[in-house]
Every structure is written in C-alpha cells, then in structure tokens.
Structure 1
Amino acid sequence: MTERPGAPAWASSDPERPADPVVPGAMNLRDVGGLRAGSAATRYRVLFRSGNLARLDEQGTRALADLRLRRIIDLRADDEVQREPSRIAGLDVVTQRVPLFLGSVESFFRDDLSLDEMYRQLVDDSAEGVVAVVRGILADQPVLVHCTVGKDRTGVTIALTLAAAGVDADAVIGDYARTEGLLPPRRNRRIVEVLRSMHPDAVHLEDLATRSPAPVMRALLDDVARRYGSADGYLRAHGLADDEIAELRRVLVQRES
C-alpha cells in the first residue's frame, strides 16, 4: 500500500474505504464509518470506539496521534481510571470524563446480571451521561469513545448514537457484535479465570466479560423503541434538542449527492 502524502499511516489508498486503524496496545479500536444509513452511510474518520488506552507504548501513542483526534471521551469510573490511566501524554486532545455506571463494574459480576439487565440499567440510570457523550461527539471530531473493553458502556452508547443518527438497525447491531471477535482469546481466558475464582457460581460471567451477542443489542433497541419511539426519542426525552439531533445526523452521516 502506498501512503498518500500527509495521510495517517492507517489510511487505505481508497479514500472511500480506509482500513481500520492499528494502534498497538489499544484493544478493540475501530472506525464506525461505512455503516449503512438508508441510502447513505456513516462518515469515516469522524467517530472511533475502543477499549482503554492504558497499554499504549510509544508506538501506540504515535499511532493514536495519527488519528488526529480532537476529543477522547472516557466512560470509565474513577477507580478504573486510577488503576489504569490512559497513556496519552503529549497528545493535543480534549479529554472528557463521563462515568456511565452508577454502580461499580464489580457489582455487575457480583449480582450476576445478564447483559440484557445490565444494558437496561445503563439506559435507565445513565441517560444524562449518554446525552453528555453525544454532545461531546458534536463538540469535536474526530472523537474516540472508550471504556475498559469497549464492549458494554461503549457498545450501548455508540449504538444509541448511531441509531439516533439514522443508521440502519442491522448495521448498528452488526457493529456492536463485532467486538466479540476483536477481543484476544488469551485475554478472555485470563479474565474469565480470574472472575470465576471470585464468582464461582455466576451464570452470566462469560457473557459479561467476553461476549457481544447480536440478539442482546436488537432487544435493547427494540425496548428503547417501544418505550421512547426511537433512539432519538430516548435522547430527546433526556434533554437533547431537535437541532442537536439534526447536527448529529449531519456530522455522522454522509448523504449521497
């Protein structure tokens, strides 16, 4: 591949189909461009999603800088950030903290919630945070949204954002479901082993730690539609204005000319 002058190192030679960025040390990082939205599609190089940025080495930090991010939105709780701080020193980027879970991450494993239950709780209890993330996306682009793994908090928030922007439900669900295949098997085995030693009888442990099943996201979007009419109805019900919804669609979706 021949790089275009001035283009980020990860960019494809085809400007319409850039490759996913490769950022050493960043798990589950990807561009949500190219998702079908009726006759249009989401823009590339606008919205990225990932797991935490605590394991970036010098090469990873340089690769992240190549994305030319203007904002990073961190959905983790204070204890997670303190335990695994992001390695982004030197990047000229706005960092926005929006802790989404009202309880601790550990509590979900202790209470043995299903993914359906956890996502319903996030939608119900963290709506103010979800709206804050959407406003962060509107404030600056390119923008990266991340949590610890990039699966649940990031998955739900990005799904609601994309759905509100008019992305087709199947494309939203497919983007969410991709995560399961992007989590390293070695990481999954290690995490499950540690969690199983702490919660030997938990039924939903492996789902919570490693899986992103498409039916779970479909059920969530259906539930949001049943209760609020649509994902944008959910955001409006919690304070997002009509002009902000319109701007979200303009920012994220490239209309056909």
Structure 2
Amino acid sequence: MIAPAGSVNFRDVGGLSAGPARVREGVLFRSGNLARLEPAGTAAIGDLGIRSIIDLRDDDEVTHAPSRLAGLELAVHRVPLFLGSVESFFTRDLSLEEMYRALIDDSAASIAEVVRGIAGGSPVLVHCTVGKDRTGVTVALALAAAGVDEDAVVADYARTESLLPAARNRAVVTRLKALHPDAVHLEELATRSPASVMRGMLAYVADRHGSATGYLRDSGLTAAELTELRGRLLGV
C-alpha cells in the first residue's frame, strides 16, 4: 500500500504470518503522528476505512502537533502511555530495553486498554509520535497475543528503522543532543528499532507472565476479549 501523504511510519500490519493463518489486511494500522498529513493524506485515511484511532501521545505532544483529521467520520481515543513525559526518558538516558520494561511494568492497564480497542474496533489505527516505541510495544503485544509468529512480530517492529527518513533522524538527533549532550542512548531512543530489543522484550514478558496473552490477562483483559482479538486480527 502507498502511505497517506504526509504520514510518518505508516503501515497496515496485514499479511503477517500466524502459523497457517495470516493477519487480515485493512484491520490494524500503525503509524507515527498525523500532524503533517496533506489533504490527500487525510482523505486517504478515510478511504482506507479506518473508523477508530488510538492516540498514545501525552497532552503536550497533542497540543504541539495536533492531528489533521478534519472532515473524517471516525472516533479518536486518547490513551497516553508514558507515566511522565517523553522528555523524561531522554533525561534519564534509558536504553530501549529499559524503556520498554518500564512501559510493560508501569503502563499495563493502559496497554490493555489499547489492545481492548484493537479487539473491539475495526479498522483501527494506533499511533504515537514516531510510531516506534509506544506503538511498537503495544502492537507487538496485541499481535503476539493473537497468535502471530514471533519472527513476524519482531520483523514488523524492526521495519520501523527503515521507514524513518534519514533527514528526520539527523534533525531530531541534533536537536536532542543540544538538550542532552551527555546522553549515551539518545540516538538509539530516537531512531532505532533493533530486532534484538523486541525479541528481548517478548522474552521479558514471557518470563514474568508466561506469554503476551498472560500479560494482557494479568493486565485486565478477559478470555472473551482475547478471543475477540484473535478473531479480529486473524478471522479465526
């Protein structure tokens, strides 16, 4: 598919393998922010049939970069994922592994709310600012819990790195280095999505909860909702 004009890191996760099945196309989309959509891009969001958007950004992010969705008939659900600001992760100079573990441990109820939205509302677009970390973690957990093959979940996450424009990365890293000159993990946090990090996150979840399904169940999803998630994404 051609990404909507002005979108960031936009894609349909349809086609990922799940044993003998595959994720249905046109059901779950993911992206970065929608603040620079061109008019044709906004129209394309509607043409894709998206009827629900789950925005994982905090209030400051939304105020700074409001989505361009005027004229579309869809519902926008705000589920801010970070406890604290995005800026705090650069200030604390966390690694990606540490940031994802913080998300898993501290934002379980919110992650469950997002996955519940994926299960109950179709077609749905999940996005944050870049579509890499909050979106990457949440979508990965939803896919894994639905039965998508781990290699496919990891590959979808890792794909983000190839979809972030080099010019964008240079500009972001330059700005952040001016603010946090001593940060060690800054470039990784801002621009990278290594397969090894996602594989490690899934192992972290499995070690503590048995599986992504166990994590979501422990976070508040019911067996019926998890069955609905699988049916929504895989049609089985």
Q: Deviations over 1:171-200 (max 9, x none)?
A: 000000000000000000000000011111
Of 171, 192, 215, the match for 2:196: 215
Contact 1:21/1:31 (CA < 8 Å) preserved in 2? no
Q: State how far apart, in whole Å, the 2-side matches of 1:143 and 1:81 are.
A: 19
Contact 1:21/1:29 (CA < 8 Å) preserved in 2? no
Which structure's CA Rg is the greater one? 1
Q: State how far apart, in whole Å, the 2-side matches of 1:65 and 1:39 are.
A: 31
Specify every segment of 5 or more residues in structure 2 that has no aligned partner in the other structure, as ranges.
Answer: none
Contact 1:30/1:50 (CA < 8 Å) preserved in 2? yes
* Structure 1 position 63, deviation (Å): 1.3
Q: Which moved more, 1:99-108 or 1:59-68?
A: 59-68
Q: State how far apart, in whole Å, the 1-side matches of 2:145 and 2:122 are.
A: 18
Report how many aligned residue pairs link the two structures: 236
Of 95, 98, 103, the match for 1:114: 95
When normalised by structure 2's length, the TM-score is: 0.98
Q: State how far apart, in whole Å, the 2-side matches of 1:42 and 1:139 are.
A: 16
Structure with more of its chain in helix, by fraction? 2
Of 29, 33, 45, the match for 1:48: 29
* Structure 1 position 139, deviation (Å): 2.2
> What fraction of aligned residue pairs are identical, expressed as a percent?
65
Q: Which amino acid aligns with 1:207?
A: E
- Structure 1's consecutive aligned runs of 4 or more residues displaced over 2 angstroms after TM superposition are none
- Equivalent in the alignment of 1:8: none
Superposition pairs of residues 1-257 of structure 1, within 5 angstroms: 20-255=1-236
Alpha carbon RMSD of aligned pairs, Å? Answer: 0.8
Q: Deviations over 1:37-83 (max 9, x none)?
A: 01111100000000000001211111111111110000000000011
* Structure 1 position 21, deviation (Å): 3.6
Secondary structure class of the residue paired with 2:159: helix
